[in-house]
Amino acid sequence: MSATPPTAWVVGTFDTKAAELNYLAGLLRAAGARVVTVDIGTRSAPGAADIETGAVASHHPRGASAVFTPSDRGEAVVAMGEALAALVRQRLAAGEIQGMLGVGGSGGSSMIAPAMRLLPIGTPKLLVSTMAAGDVSAYVGVVDMTLMYPVTDIAGLNRLSRTILANAAHALAGMLLHRVPADRAQDKPAIGLTMFGVTTPCVQAVRALLADDFDAQVFHANGAGGRTLEALAAAGMLSAVVDVTTTEIGQHLAGGVCDAGPDRLDCAARHGLPWVGSVGALDMINWGAPSTIPARHQGRTFHVHNANVTLMRSNAPELRASALRIAEQLNRASGPVRLLLPEGGLSMIDAPGQPFHDPEADAVLFDTLEGAFAASESHRLIRLPLHINDPAFAAAVAEQVRAVV
C-alpha cells in the first residue's frame, strides 16, 4: 500500500440521500481511504458535500444554468449527468480519483453511471442502485462496474440499509486498499482473443501455444464481448488481437442477438493493431428461444443449443455479406493482418456429420473474402485445408501471431 491513501469519490444526490452518502463516506474513511463527497442533487443546500452541486453543474459545457434552469426534471437530470462526466474526466486526468462509489435510484443511477464508466478498467467502481435487479446493460456498458441491489429503496438509514451500504463501502475499500498481486504476466504483451463455445478447442490451443510469451485475454464473442475487446483496443490496453471468432460480424448484419455493433474490427481498421484472425462461428446466427425467431426465417436450418439459445445456419447470401464487411474493415488496417481461412469448417457443428455442415455455403465465404481482400506484404490471406478446431490450424494461428507481434 502506498504512503498516501487512495481517494474514493462518494457520489449522489445529497438533497435526498445525504444520510446514506455520509454513512458510506464515514465507513470508507474508517477503513483507511481518503474520501471526496460529490453532490449531484439539484436542490441541495450549500456545503452538503466536498464538491458542491453548483461546482459540479459549472462543468456543463453550457454552464451551471443548463442544469438549474430547466423546468423539466428529466432535462435537468440529463444535464447534471453531463456535468458530472465532464468533472470526472477533468479530475481523472489530474490523477485525483482512484475509485468511485455511487448511490441512486433511476435518476441518480442515470447520472452516475456514465461518469463511472469513464474510470479506467481496473479502477474500483461500485454503484448501489435500485435498478440493479433488472437489465443493467445500459448502466454498465462494457466496463468492470459492480452493481449492488439495495433491496429496499434508498430512502433513509435502517437496520437493513445500514448492512447493505456497509457491505458496499467495505467492498470498495477492499478494492481500493488491496493491490493486485504482482504477476509475471504483467510484463508480457497483452493480446485479445475471441471465442465461442463452438471454437473453444482452437482458442484454448492457441492460448496454450502462446502462454509463455503473451498475456492472453479471452472474450466471449456474444456481442458484449466484442464491444469490450474493441474498447480495450481503443484504450491502448492490447498489443494485438487474435480474432479467431468473428461471428459478431454476421450477427450484426443478420440481426442476431450476439451483435457487437457496426464498429467490430475497428481494432484493426481504425487503431492499427496487429490482427490475426479467422472466420470462426460465422456459420451461425444466434437467436433466443425458438419463439423469438423472426417469422421471415421459417424453413431455415436450426440447432437448439439450449432452452434459451437457438442457432440458425448462415446461408450463402449472409456469408457473402459478412465476407465483404470483414474485407472492408481489414483493408483499412494500417497494421499487419493475417486472415486464416479453415476450409474444413467454421465451428464444432460445421463438420462432416454435424448439423451445420455446408461446404457450398462456406465456399461462398472463402471465395468472396479472397476476391475482396486487398492482399499485400503486410496483409495476407491464408487458406488452409483444415477444420478451425484442428490442432494444426491453432498452430498456424499461433505461428502468425509470433510473426507479426
What CATH number does the domain containing 247 carry?
Answer: 3.40.50.12030
Q: In the numeric block, which cell numbers belong to residue 281?
A: 462461428
pLDDT at 184: 63
**Any bridge partners for residue 311, and if so which?**
286, 303
Q: What is the distance between the alpha carbons of residues 111 and 265, in angstroms, rounded to a whole number? A: 30
Contact at 8 Å (CB) between 313 and 302? yes
In a domain, residue 92? The reply is yes
Q: For residue range 9-50, what is the model confidence (pLDDT) as tens digits?
A: 999 999 999 999 999 999 999 999 999 999 999 888 888 999
Tell me the DSSP string of 367-389: HHHHHHS---SSEEEEEESSBTT
In a domain, residue 243? The reply is yes
Q: 358-375 in b/e burial notation, b at 16+ Cβ within 10 A? A: beebbebbbebbeebbee
Predicted confidence (pLDDT) at residue 74 exceeds the cutoff of 50: yes
Alpha-carbon distances, residue 9 vs 38, 49, 204 (angstroms): 7, 11, 40
Contact at 8 Å (CB) between 85 and 40? no
N residues, the chain:
405
Predicted confidence (pLDDT) at residue 69 exceeds the cutoff of 60: yes
Q: How confident is the model at residue 323 (pLDDT cuts 50, 70, 90)?
A: very high
Same-domain status, 83 and 209? no
Residue 266: closest CA among 285, 284, 287, 248: 248
Contact at 8 Å (CB) between 40 and 78? no
Q: Which domain holds residue 90?
A: 7-177
Same-domain status, 347 and 280? yes
Higher per-residue pLDDT: 307 or 246: 246
pLDDT at 185: 57
pLDDT at 73: 86
pTM for this model (two decimals): 0.79
13: Cβ contacts below 8 Å, ≥ 6 apart? 39, 40, 41, 42, 44, 104, 107, 108
Q: How confident is the model at residue 1 (pLDDT cuts 50, 70, 90)?
A: very low
Q: What is the mean pLDDT of the chain?
A: 94
Q: In the numeric block, which cell numbers belong to residue 209?
A: 501455444
Same-domain status, 228 and 275? yes
What percentage of the chain has pLDDT greater than the value 70? 98
In a domain, residue 289? The reply is yes
Phi and psi at 363, nearest 5°, equal -65, -35
pLDDT at 137: 86
Same-domain status, 245 and 378? yes
Same-domain status, 135 and 220? no
In a domain, residue 27? The reply is yes
* Domain boundary pick from 150, 177, 204: 177
pLDDT at 306: 86
pLDDT at 131: 92
In a domain, residue 56? The reply is yes
Same-domain status, 65 and 25? yes
| Residue 37: strand, helix, or coil | strand
Q: How confident is the model at residue 307 (pLDDT cuts 50, 70, 90)?
A: confident
Q: For residue range 281-299, what is the model confidence (pLDDT) as tens digits?
A: 999 999 999 999 999 999 9
Contact at 8 Å (CB) between 196 and 348? no
Same-domain status, 158 and 253? no
The domain that holds 67 is classified in CATH as: 3.40.50.12020
Q: For residue range 342-374, what is the model confidence (pLDDT) as tens digits?
A: 999 999 999 999 999 999 999 999 999 999 999
- The average pLDDT across 253-277 equals 96
Question: Considering its fold, how many domains does the chain have in total?
Answer: 2
Higher per-residue pLDDT: 155 or 303: 303
Same-domain status, 205 and 303? yes
> Please, how many CA atoms are within 13 Å of residue 145, restricted to the half-sphere of its CB?
27
Same-domain status, 161 and 201? no
Which one-letter DSSP state was computed for residue 51? B
In a domain, residue 89? The reply is yes
Which one-letter DSSP state was computed for residue 345? B
* Domain boundary pick from 158, 177, 196: 177
In a domain, residue 2? The reply is no
Tell me which of 50-64, 153-167, 261-275, 278-292 is least confident.
Answer: 153-167
Phi and psi at 107, nearest 5°, equal -70, -50
* Domain boundary pick from 160, 177, 194: 177
Alpha-carbon distances, residue 341 vs 296, 384, 388 (angstroms): 30, 6, 8
Q: What is the distance between the alpha carbons of residues 33 and 74, in angstroms, rounded to a whole number? A: 34
Contact at 8 Å (CB) between 277 and 242? yes
Amino acid 18 reads: A
pLDDT at 171: 97
Same-domain status, 34 and 147? yes
Predicted confidence (pLDDT) at residue 2 exceeds the cutoff of 70: no
In a domain, residue 1? The reply is no
Q: How confident is the model at residue 183 (pLDDT cuts 50, 70, 90)?
A: low
Q: In the numeric block, which cell numbers belong to residue 45?
A: 443546500
Same-domain status, 360 and 279? yes
Same-domain status, 20 and 80? yes
